[in-house]
Amino acid sequence: MKLGKSSRGAVALAAVVVAAASGCSTKAPESSGGGGAAADVQTDVGIEGTTIKLGVLTDLTGVFAALGKDITNANTLFWKDNKVCDTYDVELDVQDTGYVPQQGVQLYSGMKDSIVAMQQTIGSPINTALAPEYEADSIVNFPSAWSKTLTEIPGTGVVGATYDVEIANGYDYLFKEGLLKEGDTVGHIYFEGEYGANGLAGTQAVAKEKNLEVIEAQIKSTDQDMSAQITQFKAAGVNLIALTVAPGQLASVATVAESQGLDVPILGSNPVFAPGLLQGPAANWLKTHLYVASPVSSFDANPDLLKKYEEAYPDATPSLGVVVGTGMSTIMKQVLDAACENGDLTRAGVVSAFNDLKEVDTGGLVVPIRGYELGKSPSLESFILQPADVPGGAKVLEQAFEGEFAAKIAG
């Protein structure tokens, strides 16, 4: 192969750059001996000097883009103001999966040699696809999904109660408020797949305890018109509509229920609600009929967080994703602080600190986490929220509480 003059020049330049880069990397060992507390802390991958690098696999362009942006912005904002062990700054390596699992797997392989842990991985399919790798690489990860299967991945920290426990807490609230009684009929619309199945499992468990009759209606996430399902529920005389779906289906359920005069409460798993629904025709019905069981509190109860977020991102319409993001970063800080205090910020050390985590308090953002045990819901508590004309679109009806069915379902 013959190279022209300019090509030879380019090759020489590239060689110099590579040499310079590799020269820099030889300084890496110094990094574990930074100042202060860092001096005695053992490190391996993902820490240079006093900077810890965490990965973020989020969705900035796919179907969950708005949520992904909110959670990621909240992560970024949190780490701007916080340090690990008062010594280490945290830098986030944010990558956009577009909610495509294959993309997520590729992006992870690109970042895995430079991060200590994953601050966030959005979406059950991507978390599931990466589970074997996270386990093999000893990665602590926080998903923004609450399926029970995620609790079976070592190192993965679901931020609150799983969907079955969550909706069971919702039932408990409705019983307490007299909105539902023993022997009633419930119509539950749920997505096919893990999310829907896990929510339905909660309904079935409560139905067994309280003798409820359950009418199940399984749908695909692409089904948008809930007319037929609500017509069926009305004919069956349901006393409650339970939903483990997405905001689009909730909007349809509300408008059809209103038009058919099916005046019963609607109980939803936390992903059913989005503040954008309050701009649609279903708004008024939702404000009076919807009860959302949620692992996070609302902005109503956290005005400081909202103010800070709006100052940092003036153009955004913040959703509860901001609370989720800040909550998961708060838990990550506790894990990293503990690992640092143990003198071991290696990946294994971080996993060990994660496993030792007990009674995590995020200052009321997220429900209290009892700890992470494989296959068990990390929390037994949920908030109950209702849509309202407040920032973030929802107000807290009931502070975090443990319902009577939670412990039995959570395992």
- Which of 34, 46, 170, 248 is in the footprint of other proteins by CB under 8 A? 248
Question: Could you tell me which residues are beta bridge partners of residue 186?
Answer: 214, 240
- Which of 42, 50, 61, 204 is in the footprint of other proteins by CB under 8 A? 61
> What contacts 152, CB < 8 A, 6 or more positions away?
374, 375
Give the x/- contact pattern for other proteins in 13-52, rule: CB under 8 A: ----------------------------------------
- Which of 152, 225, 263, 356 is in the footprint of other proteins by CB under 8 A? 225
By the 10 Å C-beta count (0-12 exposed, 13-18 middle, 19+ buried), 18 is classed as exposed
**Cα angle value 37/325/267 (rounded, 5°):** 145
- Neighbouring CB atoms inside 10 A of 317's CB total 14
By CB under 8 A, which span of 45-53, 142-150, 177-185, 241-249 interacts with other proteins? 241-249
Q: Which of residues 255-294 bind other proteins (CB under 8 A)?
A: 255-256, 258-261, 274, 276-277, 279-282
- Which of 128, 185, 218, 355 is in the footprint of other proteins by CB under 8 A? 218
Closest approach of Cβ 218 to other proteins, in Å? 4
**Cα angle value 71/75/79 (rounded, 5°):** 170
- Which of 223, 344, 398, 402 is in the footprint of other proteins by CB under 8 A? 223
- Which of 222, 304, 315, 358 is in the footprint of other proteins by CB under 8 A? 222
Q: Quick one: 59 or 398, whose CB is closer to other proteins?
A: 59
- Which of 1, 20, 136, 235 is in the footprint of other proteins by CB under 8 A? 235
Tokens of 77: 């904002």
Instruction: Tell me what percent of the chain is helix, strand and coil, each rounded to the nearest 5.
Output: 50, 20, 30
Closest approach of Cβ 229 to other proteins, in Å? 6
Closest approach of Cβ 68 to other proteins, in Å? 8
Question: Could you tell me which residues are beta bridge partners of residue 120?
Answer: 56
CA atoms within 13 A on the CB side of 159: 31
By the 10 Å C-beta count (0-12 exposed, 13-18 middle, 19+ buried), 98 is classed as middle
Binding region for other proteins (CB under 8 A): 59, 61-68, 192, 215-229, 231-232, 234-235, 247-252, 255-256, 258-261, 274, 276-277, 279-282
